[in-house]
Structure 1
Amino acid sequence: METVRAYSRGEYQRSGRELRFAEFFMVDRLIRNMAKTIQAQVADLAVTNSELNTAYLEKEKANLQLVNFNDELERKVAEKTLALSNSLFREEHRRSMLQSLLSFSHDLQTGDIIETVMTQVVALYPTAGWAMKTYADNKNQWACENIDKSRLEENEIRPEEHYSDYYCLPDGDEYLHCFKVKNSQNEIVGIIVMQYAKLKRDDFEVISLFIRQLSAELEGRLLNSELARIAITDSLTGIANRKAFDHDLEEHIQLFNRYPKRHFGLFMLDVNGLKRANDNYGHHMGDALLIKTSQLLVETCRITDKVYRLGGDEFAIILEAGDRDSCSILWHRLEKVREKINYACLPNGEHVEVHFAVGYSSTDQNPADQVCLVADKAMYKDKRRFYEKTGLER
């Protein structure tokens, strides 16, 4: 029993002891019980180990999912951050462009259109090449910035051949983006070319807004210019009218007062026989006589001289740098013209008796504020002399 108890305590080294048969069975049962206990513990340990392995695999799987989730989260955060940065940049860029457009609108109203446009577009896209021309002044010449004019000639930019207001031409690694400038009647009044890579939507919208603003301003400029021209142009003859004469005469007087050596001359003219032509042939003939008279006066004068129709049958000529000698030369040329008393005729070839009276004065003969009065008196004196000489009725 001591041996069994020793075995149960784990003391297996009991030398010199012999077991009886009953003790042997007791030890056998003890060992079998111990084996069963150990087998149960091993089985439990195996189950626990399996559960731990399963839990470990689940943990590794969860860790892998967590890592993938973190990577995906970081990627999405990076994408959202980049998108937000790009959005903020575009918004700032758009705000900057809108401010530039407001400034551009003001500059257009006060400065040269082409110079203002080229300055503005280069400021908006400094890395792009730009070219522009307008058809309003009939010069049809390109204004270029950061672009070789030969590139435009090689690609033959012809806006009239393209249906759309915008078209694109390949130019090596880049493109020539062509924007038509059109008025409210859908007529092409200009073209702007941008040498650049492919345009993004935001860039296209901003440039299109810029083009529309330019179109409106250019049309307004042309309209104002035409209205200003009409305001100082005689509708019948196409030469300057009384309003232009009063303005120019005042300018010449002020200029002469500042620079007394810069003389100018003044001619006053009146058509003789206009009433008779109207009575005999109708007012259309009188209009034809006035148009013919204005043409002859313009052809007779120098380029620096300016002819005006003051109203009715009265005309005037201002000679820039016109002293008495210059006035005398012009007077002799006018004499040769009016020697042909019948210088106008009907479409059927019938001649019409017409003539004009002339009077002139210059600032080296009379005070600047008196030249108009002196020339007018000389003209009426010449007019009386004509009717007295010819015996014609007025």
Structure 2
Amino acid sequence: MAERKRTIPRLTRVNYPPRVFGFGATFVAIGALVVDRDWSLLLFIPLTLFFLVYPHLIYLADRLRRANTSLEHRAMMFDAFMLGGFTALIEFSGWISYTLLAATILNNTMTGGLRQLRNAMALYLAGLGSWGLVVGFDWRPEAPLPIEILTMVSLQCYILSTAWVFYTQNRRLNAIKMDAQDKNTLFGVLLELRSLSDHAEDLDELVEGALRQFRVLQPDRSFGFVLRDSNRLETLQFAAFSEDMVESQRIWVLRRLVRARQNLPDGYYLEGDGQQNGYFVFTLHSPINLSQGLLLVQAKRLSETDTKTIGLLLDQLGTSLANLLLTQELKKAAERDALTGVYNRASLDRDLKAVESVRQHNPSIDYSVVLVDLIGLKRVNDHYGHEAGDRLISTVAEGLSAVSRRGDRVYRFGGDEFVILCQDSTLEGAQVLGERIDRLVRGREMTLETEQGGSVTVPIQLSLGVANSAHDPARELLKKADERMYADKAHWYETNARYR
């Protein structure tokens, strides 16, 4: 059925219902006039063929041809010629003649504009003249009142049916246009989401950008995105909402999710509290480590189209999140030390160049480095095994990270050496950090598992060296800190001769 409908040209399908109805009504009116004026009943033969059979033949011909071009334009020209002939045949009967002329004008103007109207009127007059030469040009415009009323009603119904057909066609075309616009908007949003995964620096930037794009597609709705711990669903790890959501709405949603300790199915509805609409919940199916992603859509109801659209958006968001996390993992692997998790030496070289570049543009901004050496690592490795030594290194890295300021960065410089880069810091500030390391990290005792299966308690022994960009040349900063660190180390060995 769908294939057959597709092969019928649109103009044929549009004109078929009005033609069948209009010609049928005209057949009744002219037939009544034939009876009233006692004309030959043989006239019913051409009347039947043209007004009752012919409309269906045109439709069937286009249907059977299965062609893209329609016979309809030629048929409308033939209509005009025949209607002009019937006007002469009925002796210019008033309302019937007017109806035949009006149908010619209306149909051709709506279908082909003024050019087609001009051609149709020429054929109408040609038919009028041709038939007039055959049957004569008798002028009897009067007709019985019932026939005129029937003709007027038929004309109005024809006009309404024609207008309705074109109205429905325009609605369909507008719906197609709107659907195309919606699809273009959706395609643009999906491209923006994909672009976000390439340019977003962190989860906040990616999710907030995605929610803004969701609002572009559905501006009358609010959105939120939440990450929950897959093992403890009441634990929320991350939450972001579209900018239109007020704080009270956000708190209400988060409280509801905390209480929902089971996996929520797609399309689950969180009932509103009477002052606001509820939220539909959709699960992000792409795995995000050990987290469960939930997209929240504020609405009273969602259509099937809305649900499919949200599914597409959620799939793209899941892909973008997976790409972002993979990029972050690769970046972390490239700039972090595998054992301790602090930054590696390549990152130190890069960051030293960056802070020195800042200082060259603004000499008032100083920075410092604190070089830290772990004393006794070789002894631990030799006596207790390398696993114990690795545990000692990791503990020192954790301690240095814990005592550093928010803007400081800890780097593993070598096997048992660490560097702390203090950005925008004076020498005194770096010395304060060194004192904090002395107080909170150096001398702290820790228990290590040995290769023999036992355990041993060892103190963390460190030596420190500090250098500052205001007192030492940039290219010698690490060298100066290293010299002071070795001096501190030598002092430690002098006071701990038995350890040596």
Find the partner of 1:164 among 251, 265, 270: 265
Q: Which amino acid aligns with 1:247?
A: R
How far is 1:154 from its partner? 5.0
CA contact (8 A) 1:142 1:149 kept: no
Q: Equivalent residue for 1:219?
A: 322
Q: Equivalent residue for 1:248?
A: 351
> Which whole-Å CA distance do the structure 2 matches of 1:325 and 1:240 have between them?
24
Q: Equivalent residue for 1:199?
A: 302
CA contact (8 A) 1:132 1:144 kept: yes
Q: Which amino acid aligns with 2:188?
A: Q
> Which whole-Å CA distance do the structure 1 matches of 2:405 and 2:431 have between them?
13
TM-score normalised over the length of structure 2: 0.57
Residues 97 and 294 (structure 1), Cα distance of their counterparts in 2 relative to 1, 3 Å cut: closer
**TM alignment of 1:109-124, pairs within 5 A:** 109-111=198-200, 112-124=205-217
Q: Equivalent residue for 1:3?
A: none
Q: Secondary structure at the match of 2:369?
A: strand
> Which whole-Å CA distance do the structure 2 matches of 1:314 and 1:81 have between them?
77
> Which whole-Å CA distance do the structure 1 matches of 2:269 and 2:441 have between them?
61
Overall identity of the aligned pairs, in %: 24
Larger Rg computed on CA atoms: 1
Find the partner of 1:125 among 208, 218, 239: 218
Q: Equivalent residue for 1:357?
A: 463
Find the partner of 1:346 among 411, 433, 448: 448
> Which whole-Å CA distance do the structure 2 matches of 1:168 and 1:333 have between them?
53
Point out where structure 1 has 5 or more consecutive residues left out of the alignment: 1-47
Q: Which amino acid aligns with 1:89?
A: M
> Which whole-Å CA distance do the structure 2 matches of 1:308 and 1:177 have between them?
46
Residues 109 and 353 (structure 1), Cα distance of their counterparts in 2 relative to 1, 3 Å cut: closer
Find the partner of 1:281 among 379, 384, 388: 384
How far is 1:131 from its partner? 2.4
Find the partner of 1:373 among 454, 461, 479: 479
> Which whole-Å CA distance do the structure 1 matches of 2:268 and 2:211 have between them?
20
> Which whole-Å CA distance do the structure 2 matches of 1:231 and 1:368 have between them?
25
**TM alignment of 1:1-394, pairs within 5 A:** 78-111=167-200, 112-126=205-219, 128-135=220-227, 140-151=238-249, 154=252, 157-158=256-257, 161-169=262-270, 171=272, 176-184=279-287, 189-336=292-439, 340=443, 343-346=445-448, 350-352=456-458, 355-387=461-493, 390-391=496-497
Residues 81 and 266 (structure 1), Cα distance of their counterparts in 2 relative to 1, 3 Å cut: closer
> Which whole-Å CA distance do the structure 1 matches of 2:496 and 2:241 have between them?
61
CA contact (8 A) 2:367 2:422 kept: yes
Q: Secondary structure at the match of 1:267?
A: strand
Residues 117 and 279 (structure 1), Cα distance of their counterparts in 2 relative to 1, 3 Å cut: same
Q: Secondary structure at the match of 1:234?
A: coil
TM-score normalised over the length of structure 1: 0.70
CA contact (8 A) 2:241 2:250 kept: no
Q: Secondary structure at the match of 2:225?
A: strand
Q: Equivalent residue for 2:32?
A: none
How far is 1:366 from its partner? 0.9
> Which whole-Å CA distance do the structure 1 matches of 2:418 and 2:289 have between them?
40
Q: Secondary structure at the match of 1:268?
A: strand
> Which whole-Å CA distance do the structure 2 matches of 1:365 and 1:228 have between them?
34
- Greater alpha carbon shift after TM alignment, 130-139 vs 321-330: 130-139
How far is 1:371 from its partner? 1.0
Matched pairs, number? 343
> Which whole-Å CA distance do the structure 2 matches of 1:323 and 1:153 have between them?
43
Q: Which has the higher relative contact order, 1 or 2, with Cα contacts under 8 A spaced 6 or more apart?
A: 1
